Amino acid sequence: MRAMVLEAPGMPLKLAEVPDPVPGPGAVLVRVAACGICRTDIHVVDGELSDPKLPLIPGHQIVGVVAAGGPGASRFRPGDRVGIPWLGGSCGRCRHCRAGRENLCDEARYTGYHLDGGFAEACVADERFCFPVPAGYPDLEAAPLLCAGLIGYRAYRMAVVPGGTGEVRRVGLWGFGASAHLVAQIARHEGREVWAFTRPGDAAAQVFARSQGAAWAGGTGDTPPGELDAAIIFAPAGELVPAALSRVGKGGTVVCAGIHMSDLPSFPYRLLWGERAVRSVANLTRRDGEEFLALAPRIPIRTTVTAWPLEGANEALATLRAGSLTGAAVIRVAGQE
C-alpha cells in the first residue's frame, strides 16, 4: 500500500510503498478513506513530542471501511464505516482505566504516534477503541470530528462544568481553527455566547469565527467588550494563559486544550486569585467519543475542510503550521468523496 512515512523527526514525510498491515487479535483492518490533520501531527513530525515509533505513519483522525477482522474481533463487520481516534489503546488495569479515565493511563498507546496511523491506504486498530461514524457526514467532513471534535468537546465540558463556579454564559476561544470552529457550534447550540481570539490582524480568521456564531472576534491583543466566564486555549502558546486569565472573571476556568504548549511565563497571582482555575486536557476517553459523536448530528455540527491528496501531506502540514488554514485540513486517501 501507499503511505506517507516519517523516518526521523524534523524530516519531511516520504511517500513509500509499505506492506499491508495485518490485524492482530481483537483488531480490525480498515481501508482508509480520509484522515484529518491535527496540530498534534505537527508536534510529532517536528519532534516536539519525543517518543514516536519510527519509522511512523502519522495521522489519527481516520475514517474508513472495515475490510477484515483479526482473531476474536467481532464488534464490526466488513463494510462497516468506522472512525479511529488518537487513543489507540490503554492497559485496562490501572486506577485511571478502572475509573473510566483511560486518557490518563501511563501505558496508553496513541494512533499516529506509537501506532501507525491514517496517512496510508490502510491501517489496523483495536476495535474496542474505534467508533461508528454517524450517518450524514461524508468521509472528508467526518474526519475532523475524531480529534478536533473530540478534544474540543472534552475541553469545552471542562470549561463549562467547572464545579461550583456558577453559570457559564460566555466562553472565549483562543486560536480559531479546527477545534474552535466545532466548539463554537456546540456552545451556540447550548445558548452560550462565544468570543474568538485570533492572531493579531488575522481578519480572515475573525470573519470565519463570526460565520461560526462568534458574537465577537478580535486579535489576542484586542480588548473584548466585557468579561468571560470561561476560556479555552487551542493555540500552543504559553503566553496566552495569563492573557486568558486576565479576561476571565472570578470563579472562571481557563482550559489548555493542546498536547504541547510553549512554556508559561511568570504572571502575577492576582490573575489567578478569585478562585480562577487553569486546567489541561489530556487525550480523550471512549465515553467522550460516544457522547460527542451522538451530539454532533443532533446540532448538527458542520465541519469546514480543505482537502489534499495523500502525496500532498507535507504541503498540508506546512499550511497548518503557517496558520493560513480556515477550518480543518484533511487528507483524501480513497476516491470516495
| Residue in the structure block whose three cell numbers are 474481533 | 73
Q: Please name the residues in contact with 106: beta carbons below 8 A apart, sequence gap of 6 or more.
A: 91, 94, 96
| In a shared domain, residues 121 and 162 | no
| Cα separation, 23 vs 12, whole angstroms | 28
Query: Is residue 337 in a domain?
Result: no
218 has which bridge partners? 197
Query: Is residue 63 in a domain?
Result: yes
Query: Is residue 61 in a domain?
Result: yes
Buried b / exposed e along 126-165 (16+ C-beta atoms within 10 A): bbebbbebbeebebbbbbbbbbbbbbbbbbbbbbbebeeb
| In a shared domain, residues 247 and 264 | yes
| In a shared domain, residues 163 and 312 | no
| In a shared domain, residues 164 and 41 | no
Model pLDDT, residue 60: 98
Does pTM top 0.75 for this prediction?
yes
Neighbours of 222 (CB within 10 A): 12
| In a shared domain, residues 170 and 84 | no
Model pLDDT, residue 334: 84
Model pLDDT, residue 9: 96
203-211 vs 178-189: helix crossing angle, rounded to 10: 30
What's the CATH code of the domain at 132? 3.90.180.10
| In a shared domain, residues 161 and 63 | no
| Residue in the structure block whose three cell numbers are 474505534 | 130
| In a shared domain, residues 15 and 138 | yes
Model pLDDT, residue 110: 98
Domain of residue 116 covers 2-144+284-332
Contact 116, 57 (CB under 8 A): yes
Model pLDDT, residue 159: 95
329 has which bridge partners? 37, 306
| In a shared domain, residues 158 and 57 | no
Q: Where are the beta strands (DSSP E) in the chain?
A: 2-5, 14-17, 27-37, 61-69, 81-84, 87-89, 109-110, 122-126, 131-132, 170-174, 193-198, 216-219, 228-233, 248-256, 277-280, 305-309, 328-332
The number of domains in the chain is 2
| Cα separation, 39 vs 236, whole angstroms | 9
| In a shared domain, residues 13 and 140 | yes
- Terminal-to-terminal C-alpha distance of the chain: 20
- Please report how many Cα atoms fall inside a 13 Å half-sphere around the Cα of residue 286, on the Cβ side: 17
Neighbours of 88 (CB within 10 A): 24
Across the 337 residues of the chain, what is the mean pLDDT of every consecutive 10-residue run?
97 98 98 97 95 97 98 98 98 97 97 98 98 97 98 96 72 97 97 97 96 97 95 97 97 95 97 96 96 98 98 98 95 74
| In a shared domain, residues 235 and 302 | no
| Residue in the structure block whose three cell numbers are 482473531 | 71
What's the CATH code of the domain at 234? 3.40.50.720
Q: Which three cell numbers stand for residue 64?
A: 474508513
Contact 21, 124 (CB under 8 A): yes
| In a shared domain, residues 139 and 162 | no
Model pLDDT, residue 164: 43
